[in-house]
A = this chain, B = another copy of it.
Amino acid sequence: MLGRKLAARLGRDGTADELELVDIAGAPVVADVAEPGVAERLVASRPDTIFHLAAVLSGEAEADFDKGYRVNLDGTRALLEAIRAVGGGYRPRVVFASTIAVFGAPFPEAIGDEFHSTPLTSYGTAKAMSELLLADYTRRGFLDGVGIRLPTICVRPGAPNRAASGFFSSIIREPLVGEDAVLPVSEDVRHWFASPRAAIGFLVHAASLDSAVLGDRRSVTMPGVSETVAGQIESLRRVGGDGAVAHIRREPDETIARIVAGWPERFDTRRADALGFRADADFDEIVRVHVEDELS
């Protein structure tokens, strides 16, 4: 989803001379970067900038341990190794999509830029390990990496999925088109969000960042909007009216509530702010972005 939107944005900006989209399925180039030899072929054309978004997401990486590590860790490592193997002074900017799932509870009230990574999922673990590799390959001069820890993307377009985080999007997305959505947690649950448009902005900004200012700490927690489910619902009401809100069905789910309780609520992102990364203004804007980008 982010790859497609990123390609569209880069196309509109006209900043890229050439753009090659690679995905495990559906993109112009279909390839599995974790397969031997694939990453080598992909970097043979020596692209200046590489966006590495490929991932098995949280739920699937938890369900299929081997697949998660194969794609999320070994795939990333294969890509970094392929870049290193090119040699001859080749040192591309590598923008790596990391995640706030590198953090695990218990948390301080606002998680700062020096808080440790203690992930509570195999997905977050492989991402945290990839961040470490990215920093070391950068320090050794093999590439020029920038890792950006994305907030939960909301409103995620498309069909409902069964990710534990899916309800954050579906309670906005479905009601706006007159369909019911299930809310499995209480309204005081707070989380950290960015719209797809803001996330694309992070990726593009990371690509053009003077990375010397990052020093040796190459991964940065992205700014976001800290909002409760109650606040989400009020934003939905302001954009879609009471009729939209009436489509939210409360069906408490203890399992989801327990998972979500381990997730971050709020970050202090002064480093990203100073580097020029910009979040959505508030959750109202996140809802409006969804309406503009997906429903117009």
Contact A116 to B119, CB < 8 A, known contacts A125-B136, A132-B128, A135-B125: no
Given contacts A104-B216, A216-B104, contact A136 B119 (CB under 8 A): yes
**In the docked arrangement, what's the CA distance between A125 and B122, Å?**
18
Q: Given the complex, which residues of B lie within 8 Å of A136, measured CB to CB?
A: 119, 122, 125
| A:96-153 near B, CB below 8 Å | 104, 108, 114-120, 122, 125, 128-129, 132-133, 135-136, 139-140
A217 contacts the other chain (CB 8 A): yes
Q: Which of B65, B115, B118, B216 contacts A135 (CB 8 A)?
A: B118
Is B140's CB under 8 angstroms from A133's CB? no
Q: CB-CB < 8 A to A122: which residues of B?
A: 136, 140
Give bound CA distance, A122 to B140, whole Å.
Answer: 9
A65 to B119, CA, bound (A): 27
Whether A133 contacts B139 by the Cβ 8 Å rule is no
Known: A65-B140, A132-B125, A133-B125. A114 touches B117 (CB 8 A): no
Residues of B within 8 A of A133 (CB): 125, 129
Find chain B residues with CB under 8 A from A128 CB: 132
A233, B78: Cα distance in complex, Å: 48
Contact with B along A40-54 (1 / 0, CB 8 A): 000000000000000
Contacts of A104 in B (CB 8 A): 216
Docked pose: A135 CA to B140 CA in angstroms: 27
Residues 201-235 of chain A, each 1 if its beta carbon lies under 8 Å from chain B, else 0: 00000000000000011000000000000000000
| Chain B residues within 8 Å of A129, by CB | 129, 132-133
Across the interface, name the chain B residue whose C-beta is closest to A107.
Answer: B114
Query: Could you tell me the distance between the alpha carbons of A122 and B84 in the complex, rounded to whole angstroms?
Result: 15
Binding site for B on A (CB under 8 A): 65, 104, 108, 114-120, 122, 125, 128-129, 132-133, 135-136, 139-140, 216-217
Q: Would you mind naming 7 contact pairs between A and B with Cβ atoms under 8 Å apart?
A: A65-B140, A108-B114, A118-B216, A119-B132, A120-B139, A125-B136, A129-B133
